């Protein structure tokens, strides 16, 4: 773990609205000082510090969700168009659901970080299987040293976001523990991670493994509003037992053949205490 990370105090947790999110590490910097400075610091922690330290968000607030950029391949400059759209739309932040790079090596992450700096707002990334060493999905060192924790939660007006890591096929016990505890709130609950659940579409070759149905049981009993994922390079929305599953794998990776809605796109989402609206923006 890099020296510049530290456990943040309870007071800071409360100030930043992430009390209990003990798996998240944040740098000791005022939000004004962290804008676009990533070098040697966990990107997700800095981005969250910017987001949570900025002026109060409206309710509802707008954000973009997308996944599967696969830098350096970024098919047809799709990701550059998403950057432009995010800046034009002035969304409050962007969530990227993993596979930011084709293989998680220093060269690709350097290219990615160059692109992330072009966003005018915080960008928070989940870990995808391509963000690992790839020949070994369990080797997640390159991503972790850059982005920090992969399992945490944060609260925005009316909405709790829960980040999980299923890059290596499954959720860990730490992910399940965080999910279970984080669902105990009256806020809307939005889960984001890379692989989609295993009960959505029989055409999905490598969804998250969950033979015991633990994930499904937790999100349905816990009243999750939505689960945002990518991995499958197409677009789909499934509404099952009160949970909206959005698969948005269209941010630049080569599109999956022989499946419906295989177009490049991002999701524009409006969320708040009484709101969860979304629309797909084709590119």
Footprint of Fe ion (CB under 5 A): 68, 99, 128-129, 231, 253
Identity of the residue, 99 or 142, whose beta carbon is nearer to Fe ion in the bound complex? 99
- Taking Cα atoms as reference points, which of 109, 101, 60 lies closest to residue 274? 60
Query: Closest separation between CB of residue 89 and Fe ion, Å?
Result: 24
Query: Closest separation between CB of residue 101 and Fe ion, Å?
Result: 10
Contact 230, 249 (CB under 8 A): yes
Identity of the residue, 158 or 196, whose beta carbon is nearer to Fe ion in the bound complex? 196
- Report how far residue 282's alpha carbon sits from residue 226's, in angstroms, rounded to the nearest whole number: 21
Instruction: Kindly compute the dihedral angle of the four CA atoms of residues 25, 83, 34, 144, in this order, to the nearest 10 degrees.
Output: 30
Contact 78, 59 (CB under 8 A): no
Bridge partners (DSSP) of residue 161 are: 154, 190
φ, ψ for residue 233 (rounded to 5)? -85, 70
Identity of the residue, 8 or 236, whose beta carbon is nearer to Fe ion in the bound complex? 236
Contact 43, 10 (CB under 8 A): no
Report the relative pairing of strands 93-96 and 61-66 from DSSP bridges.
Answer: parallel
Identity of the residue, 168 or 182, whose beta carbon is nearer to Fe ion in the bound complex? 168
Closest chain position to Fe ion (CB): 99
Identity of the residue, 21 or 253, whose beta carbon is nearer to Fe ion in the bound complex? 253
């Amino acid at each position: 773990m890099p020296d510049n990370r530290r456990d943040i105090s309870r007071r800071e947790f409360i100030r930043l609205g992430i009390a209990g999110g003990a798996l998240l590490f944040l740098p000791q910097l005022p939000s004004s000082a962290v804008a676009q400075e990533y070098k040697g610091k966990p990107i997700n922690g800095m981005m969250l510090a910017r987001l949570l330290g900025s002026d109060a968000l409206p309710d509802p607030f707008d954000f973009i969700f997308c996944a599967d950029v696969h830098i350096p391949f970024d098919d047809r400059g799709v990701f550059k168009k998403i950057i432009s759209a995010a800046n034009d739309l002035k969304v409050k932040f962007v969530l990227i659901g993993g596979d930011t790079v084709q293989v998680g090596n220093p060269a690709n992450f350097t290219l990615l970080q160059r692109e992330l700096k072009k966003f005018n707002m915080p960008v928070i990334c989940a870990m995808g299987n391509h963000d690992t060493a790839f020949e070994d999905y369990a080797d997640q060192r390159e991503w972790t040293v850059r982005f920090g924790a992969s399992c945490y939660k944060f609260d925005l007006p009316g909405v709790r976001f829960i980040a999980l890591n299923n890059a290596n096929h499954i959720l860990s016990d730490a992910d399940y523990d965080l999910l279970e505890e984080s669902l105990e709130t009256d806020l809307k609950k939005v889960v984001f991670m890379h692989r989609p659940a295993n009960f959505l579409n029989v055409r999905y070759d490598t969804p998250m493994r969950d033979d015991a149905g633990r994930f499904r049981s937790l999100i349905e009993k816990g009243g999750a509003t939505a689960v945002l994922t990518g991995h499958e390079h197409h677009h789909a929305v499934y509404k099952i037992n009160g949970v909206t599953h959005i698969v948005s794998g269209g941010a630049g990776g080569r599109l999956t053949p022989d499946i419906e809605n295989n177009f490049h796109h991002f999701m524009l989402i409006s969320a708040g205490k009484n709101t969860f609206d979304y629309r797909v923006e084709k590119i």
